[in-house]
Chains A and B, each alone.
Chain A
Amino acid sequence: MAENNKKSRRKFLNNGLKLGIVAAIGGIGLSKIASKLSAQTEEAHSGEKMELMTADGTLIEVDSSEVMEVHNVKNNEDNYDVREGIPNRKFVMVIDLAKCKNARKCVEGCQKGHNLDYHQEFMQIKLIQDNPLAEPYWFPKNCMHCDEPPCVKVCPTGATFKREDNIVLVDNERCIGCKFCVTSCPYSARIFNWEHKAKFDDKSQPYSPETNVPGATGTVTKCDFCPDLLRQGLLPHCAQSCPEGVIYFGDRNEDIVTNGAETVRFSELINKRGGYRHLEHLGTKPNVYYLPAVDKLYELEDGFEVNEEVKERYKNVPYVKELKKQGKI
């Protein structure tokens, strides 16, 4: 069968050469697909098999990382400096709290994209109550990529750094695991790899601080705004996965943010909807903005229709206790 494939391939090549320019252009087309292919496999991870059907109706399972290895040329292009970032960009995120219903798709998409365990969350969804009379709301919280990042200030080795494009990353090949950054982050955005995991040994994907994959024992990791996707013009995993379009992402220089379905002006969105930043008074100058949870699209109770374990997490919030007493959840 393989021989057949090769033969037909050769035939195509011959044809191609005969056809001259047309085939050559075809080649370009194919190489474009190839780069697209590599782009998509970065999302999927090794160890993950994907089902494909071949032309003769056979179902095959391909380990996505094997396909990617051949085509991983993207990162080597034009002296790109991971510590400098994507030139001329200032990335911002806007999270529309009015639309969030705790579907947790952002959490799952992020975990899949960064090869995280079920309990490791770059994106966490908190239940926040502003005052005792207000109804609580769902509050997706990732790293704020602050302009005055307390974590970067205290890092003794420069393992965590802030780039020109606003993104704060962790280089787990430089991190010594002192955890000072974890204690200095007021947003609890950082998590630590407490033990060794088999997935850390999988070197099929070359490590980059931009993907945080593969992880390393005894080092710190956190939300990275997915610069690998941004460089391909794609939204971060969380924004891509959100079914409600809660998460807007974009470039502050361009003053445009998008949630995939809708593209709006960043400044207009913030001004008209009363956008704010979490814990503004601390002076960390975050780059994640929130639109207040007014005129919510979903009932708070809808958010509890996830699994029991997730439901359990919020049991100590006074409002939830009250709801439980009333039998509403």
Chain B
Amino acid sequence: MKSNLYNHTFFISIIAALLLCTNGIAQQIDLSNYSMRFVFKTVKQADNTRLLEVSFIGFNDNDRKDKIPVFGAEIQFLNVLNDEEILLGSSKTSKEGTAQLILPENQKYVTDEEGYINLKARFNSTDALSEEVADIMVKDLHLDLNLSEIDSVKTVTLTAFTVNSLGDKIPVSELDVIINLNTMLSKMNISEGTIIDGTYTFEMTESFAGNTKGELAISAVIEDNDEYGNIIQEKKVQWGTITKQVKANDHSLWTKAAPIWMYVVLSILLLGVYINFIYTIVNLVKIKREGDNIKTEPRKNYTVY
């Protein structure tokens, strides 16, 4: 955790240095042409943490394609009740102009009498940019995803409820939900429906391969609900019908190792040839030795044949 913070400091100081050295090319822009868009949203994630995200981008009024993200702007995230403001944390906008804050599951929020959490994101004005404030009111909704086989039918059961101040579970109704199959690169919509009396049930007749362990990752998503905002719940289950692919041969023409017979044939060929080379050289040495002996002996009148 400490190292995280440290990294972050380092990052910021690099950016600070960068700002310093790019001062030469930094230019004041005419902001009158730009209108600032300050969008605040919240997502309750699968691990029950809550993500707060602000996107802060300036759009050119004359050319909508011309947008400049606001970089390094400090955004404060607050929990508000009446006039009381509790700072949840703050974060700076990234290169894309977004600032995020993730709040843990056990985070305590103050709620109003109807059970709404009032969240506020604020950017304090600077010389050039005016103050931006956005707020959201959400109720804390609990989603329970249950995946089980009922009479050998794969059944997805989703229960949705809120918890009142006494700790009682109160089921919710009329809530649109999407059931997704999460895969490596995307989500596949496998069912859509409405939660009634706190539950939504969906029988999965289709079968999917899943990952190599045979697991399917199934998620329930509630999107942009007026009362509850965005909520995601996800679970894994052993419903995959994957048939493991046979691992390819390790000794083929395109693998690192060649087919065994290639090694054998090549070795035999090379050995056969190089043994003959060595034999030849050995014989040459013998010829030389004989020649040397003749030289050292007193020269006789030797005959050739």
Contact = CB atoms under 8 A, between A and B. Distances in A.
A31 B68 contact: no
Interface in B61-108: 68-74, 87-92, 94-96, 98-104, 107
B209 A253 contact: yes
A67 B210 CA distance: 37
Contacts of A88: 211-212
B28 A58 contact: yes
A64 B69 CA distance: 14
Contacts, number: 222
Contacts of A15: 87, 90
A13 B88 CA distance: 14
B187 interface: yes
Contact of B94 (A8, A23, A37, A264): A37
Interface stretch (A104-112, A227-235, A298-306, A311-319): A227-235
Interface string B18-50: 111011011111010000000000000000000
Q: Which of B17, B72, B87, B126 has the most CB atoms of chain A within a 10 A radius of its CB?
A: B72
A53 B58 contact: yes
Going nearest first, the 4 A-B pairs with the smallest beta carbon separation are A57-B128, A258-B186, A52-B71, A26-B89
A254 B209 contact: yes
A288 interface: no
Interface in A93-149: 147-149
B301 interface: no
A19 B87 contact: yes
B191 to A, nearest CB: 14
B74 A24 contact: no
B271 interface: no
9 contacts: A9-B12, A12-B74, A25-B103, A26-B89, A29-B51, A158-B256, A250-B186, A251-B183, A255-B209
A162 B254 contact: yes
Interface residues of B, number: 76
Contact of B91 (A26, A62, A148, A249): A26
Contacts of A21: 104
B10 interface: yes
B21 to A, nearest CB: 9
Contacts of A27: 1, 4-5, 8
Contacts of B12: 5-6, 9
Contacts of B70: 52-55
A234 B185 contact: yes
Nearest to A162: B254
Interface residues of A, number: 75
A108 B104 CA distance: 42
B13 A25 contact: no
A204 interface: no
B126 A34 contact: no
A51 interface: yes
Contacts of B98: 33
Contact of B20 (A1, A32, A37, A153): A1
B26 A59 contact: yes
Given A57-B126, A162-B254, A254-B210, A16 B5 contact: yes
A57 B22 contact: no
B188 interface: yes
B39 to A, nearest CB: 16
Interface of B: 1, 4-5, 7-20, 22-23, 25-29, 31, 51, 58, 68-74, 87-92, 94-96, 98-104, 107, 123, 126-129, 181, 183-189, 208-212, 242, 245, 248, 253-256
Given A54-B71, A55-B129, A161-B256, A5 B16 contact: yes
B126 A13 contact: no
Contacts of A282: none
B11 A70 contact: yes
A308 to B, nearest CB: 25
A58 B27 contact: yes
A59 B242 contact: no
Nearest to B10: A70
A2 B13 CA distance: 8
Q: Which of A12, A37, A162, A253 has the most CB atoms of chain B within a 10 A radius of its CB?
A: A253
A61 interface: yes
Contacts of B253: 148, 153
A28 B4 contact: yes
A263 B189 contact: yes
Contacts of B89: 16, 19, 22-23, 25-26, 29
B210 A26 contact: no
B68 A233 contact: no
A58 B102 CA distance: 29
A30 interface: yes
A250 B27 CA distance: 44
Nearest to A5: B16
